[in-house]
């Protein structure tokens, strides 16, 4: 008598999805990684210290996980949110009081974003302390700094979207700096001499106006939901790919090949 499970494994549909058996052999373990597009991010084997959470702190992976959580919850939030001064705040109230699981989704997005800023900083701290930016990984550190900057920009642009007092004034304080940009801001060194005006300088381009207003909301919304995640994704792809190409997780040079 063969079990239903075994019967299932013999069907054409099952075999077309799962390309290899699951018996515990080194070959099947390797196939488990290389036959899966997501797990294929990993090499088949790693040095033992790479699996030690005390070494990596898991911060890079946690940051990526949080990015995925933020993408998912962010898309759900977009169903309920209109980026206009007229509706934005009302939509937030609706979300927090009437949408089923609305508060949970928004809270996960907000707290996940804060957590991601923290984990990015800790990831960078760990990479520095283990000297993992040293050859051959120099360029991947540069990519990482760009990702740190993009994380700040993503978080900052999202800060404005609730369109409450907290967001508008935090973004006002932040973007007021732009008016002092040397050469390009109307209050920056040599800005006025170069013809910068409150309605014609780098801050005006950023805000779409002379102060944080409805055009700013739309600009930040598009940047937050489309432009910045797209750019961040591209840099993340390079970041992850370079980890593999630069020899996998960093470790002391013991003369063995590391990939």
Partner 1 sequence: MNHLLELVTKPDNIPIVGLLLLVIFYSWLAWTKARKNDSQQLPDEARLDDKVQVWPYLVRVEFLAMLVVLLILVVWSVFINAPLEEPANPALTPNPSKAPWYFLGLQELLVYFDPWIAGVVLPSIIIVGLMIIPYVDINEKGNGYYTFKERKFSILTFCFGFLILWVSLIVLGTFMRGPGWNFFLPWQDWDTHKVVVLNNVDLSEYFGMPSHFPDNSLNIAASAFGFLVIAAFYLSLGGWHYMKYKNSDVVKKLGLGRYALVLGLFLTMMFVVLKILLRLAPPIFGGYPVKYIWVTPWFNV
Q: Which of 77, 92, 154, 206 binds partner 1 (CB under 8 A)?
A: 92
**Torsion angle of C-alpha atoms 156, 160, 164, 168, degrees rounded to 10:** 80
Phi, psi of 197 (to 5 degrees): -125, 160
Per-residue mark of binding to partner 1, 138-177 (x: CB under 8 A): xx-xx--x--xx--x--xx--x--xxxxxxxxx-xxx-xx
List the beta bridge partners of residue 20: none
Contact flag: residue 66 with partner 1 (CB under 8 A): yes
Q: Which of 18, 21, 39, 237 binds partner 1 (CB under 8 A)?
A: 39
Contact flag: residue 46 with partner 1 (CB under 8 A): yes
Which tokens hold the place of 9?
A: 């494994």
Whole-number minimum distance, CB 2 to partner 1, in Å?
Answer: 27
- The CA radius of gyration of the chain, in Å to the nearest whole number, is 24
Contact flag: residue 211 with partner 1 (CB under 8 A): yes
Q: CB-based contacts of 160: which residues, under 8 Å, 6+ apart?
A: 167, 168, 170, 171, 212, 216, 217, 220
Total residues interacting with partner 1, rule: CB under 8 A: 103
Whole-number minimum distance, CB 163 to partner 1, in Å?
Answer: 5
CB of 5 or CB of 129, closer to partner 1? 129
Tell which positions 97-126 bind partner 1, by CB under 8 A.
103-104, 106-112, 114-115, 117-118, 121-122, 125-126
CB 43 within 8 A of CB 244: yes
């Amino acid at each position: 008598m063969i079990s239903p499970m075994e019967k299932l494994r013999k069907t054409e549909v099952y075999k077309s999805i799962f390309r290899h058996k699951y018996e515990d052999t080194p070959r099947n373990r390797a196939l488990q990684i290389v036959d899966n597009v997501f797990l294929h991010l990993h090499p088949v084997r790693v040095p033992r210290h790479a699996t030690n959470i005390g070494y990596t702190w898991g911060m890079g992976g946690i940051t990526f996980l949080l990015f995925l959580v933020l993408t998912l919850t962010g898309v759900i939030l977009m169903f309920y949110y209109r980026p206009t001064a007229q509706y934005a705040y009302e939509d937030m109230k609706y979300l927090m009081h009437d949408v089923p699981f609305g508060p949970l989704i928004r809270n996960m997005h907000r707290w996940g974003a804060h957590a991601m800023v923290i984990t990015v900083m800790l990831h960078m701290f760990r990479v520095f302390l283990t000297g993992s930016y040293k050859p051959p990984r120099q360029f991947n550190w540069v990519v990482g700094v760009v990702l740190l900057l993009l994380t700040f920009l993503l978080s900052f642009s999202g800060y404005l979207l609730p369109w409450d007092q907290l967001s508008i004034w935090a973004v006002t304080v932040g973007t007021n700096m732009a008016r002092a940009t040397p050469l390009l801001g109307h209050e920056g060194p040599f800005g006025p001499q170069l013809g910068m005006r409150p309605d014609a300088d780098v801050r005006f381009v950023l805000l779409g106006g002379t102060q944080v207003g409805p055009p700013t909301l739309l600009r930040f919304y598009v940047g937050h939901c489309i432009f910045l995640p797209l750019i961040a994704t591209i840099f993340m792809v390079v970041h992850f790919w370079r980890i593999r190409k630069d020899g996998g997780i960093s470790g002391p040079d013991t003369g063995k090949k590391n990939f």
